[in-house]
Amino acid sequence: MSQSQEGSGGEDRSKALRIATWNVNSINARLDNVLAWLRAAEPDIVLLQEIKCLAEAFPRAEIEALGYRIEIHGQKAYNGVAILSRAPITVVRRGLPGDDADAQARYLEVDTAGLRVAALYLPNGNPLGTDKFSYKLSWMERLRRHAAELVEDDGPIVLGGDYNVIPEPLDCHDPRAWEGDALFQPESRRAFRALLHLGLTDAFRALHPRTAGAYTFWDYQGGAWPLDHGIRIDHLLLSPAAADRLLSASIDRRPRGEPKASDHTPVLAELRRE
């Protein structure tokens, strides 16, 4: 039997499924950067955060022209998440369950390409001692409860986004500089670990357990990017069935160095196709 006869049906079937998350800090301010990156990186699924617009203001046509379907949970000026996929998308829910009074657009969950996928933009939580920090912690508890329900199903799930949590000292240039920050508080880190304890896998850290300097965010202020004073706060968390298919995980630093860059850069994972 010729090897080349096996798997006839196209090279695409053997290529990995590429899923990315990127906080773009306004999709309209970032459109040229996003289009260039989509062409270069060729992801199959992209989770976007901080689109900062309602669905009707999203630059849908330009992104659809590159072959993506789009679903949006938008908000004017603040927050907002979207999911792009080369495969058909079915929306499961807009908004995180657990607080009907919460109007902030930070969560979108869909089925696409045989996966359950959520794009999330976790509250920043600064400054400490305010309702912003308590909102962050209550949002994380809502996420934990919802994720616990999701993982009861044995299917492949990807919960990706801007978690606004530095999981470990290894994930920042100078841990002392972040001591008073909501992103590095013991409560925030404990709530992140509680997600891992549900059986979720941090895709990047699982494959690069000791890699330092693997940042996804560099503040616009203080020369953080040229000094490489970054933090790793954008994460792809995988259910066991998704983690079993994990082939690679990486951070693409190039977009952060482009003109008019977002302060975040994309995180990518490759999953074996079923």
Q: Which residues bind DNA (CB under 7 A)?
A: 25-26, 28-29, 52-53, 75-78, 123-124, 126, 132, 164, 220-222, 260
Side chain identity at 234, as an amino acid letter? Answer: D
Give the nearest distance from C-beta 252 to DNA in angstroms: 19
Q: Which CB, 78 or 114, lies closer to DNA?
A: 78
Q: Which CB, 40 or 177, lies closer to DNA?
A: 177
Q: Which CB, 183 or 242, lies closer to DNA?
A: 183
Alpha-helix residue ranges (DSSP H) falling in 25-154: 31-41, 60-64, 131-152
Pairing of strands 267-271, 246-251: antiparallel
For residue 249, what are the contacts with CB-CB under 8 A and spacing of at least 6? 203, 204, 206, 207, 208, 236, 267, 268, 269, 270
Give the nearest distance from C-beta 51 to DNA in angstroms: 9
Q: Could you tell me if 150 and 241 are in contact, meaning their C-beta atoms sit under 8 angstroms apart?
A: no
Give the nearest distance from C-beta 96 to DNA in angstroms: 14
Give the nearest distance from C-beta 79 to DNA in angstroms: 7
Determine if residue 272 is left, alpha or beta; phi over 0 gives left, psi from -120 to 50 gives alpha, anything else beta: beta
Give the nearest distance from C-beta 225 to DNA in angstroms: 9
Q: Which CB, 15 or 76, lies closer to DNA?
A: 76
CA 124 to chain centre: 14
Q: Which CB, 164 or 185, lies closer to DNA?
A: 164
The two structure tokens encoding residue 183:
């992103």
Q: Which CB, 11 or 179, lies closer to DNA?
A: 179
CA distance 205 to 207: 5
Q: Which residue has the tokens 């976790």?
A: 122
Give the nearest distance from C-beta 220 to DNA in angstroms: 4
Give the nearest distance from C-beta 85 to DNA in angstroms: 24
Alpha-carbon dihedral 23, 220, 131, 168, rounded to 10 degrees: 70
Instruction: Please compute Rg for the chain using Cα positions.
Output: 18
Q: Which CB, 124 or 250, lies closer to DNA?
A: 124
Burial degree of 216 (CB within 10 A; 0-12, 13-18, 19+):
buried
Q: Which CB, 75 or 185, lies closer to DNA?
A: 75
- Axis-axis angle for helices 186-197, 131-152 (nearest 10): 10
User: Residues 219, 225, 231, CA angle at the centre, nearest 5°?
Assistant: 60
CA distance 17 to 227: 34
Give the nearest distance from C-beta 157 to DNA in angstroms: 25
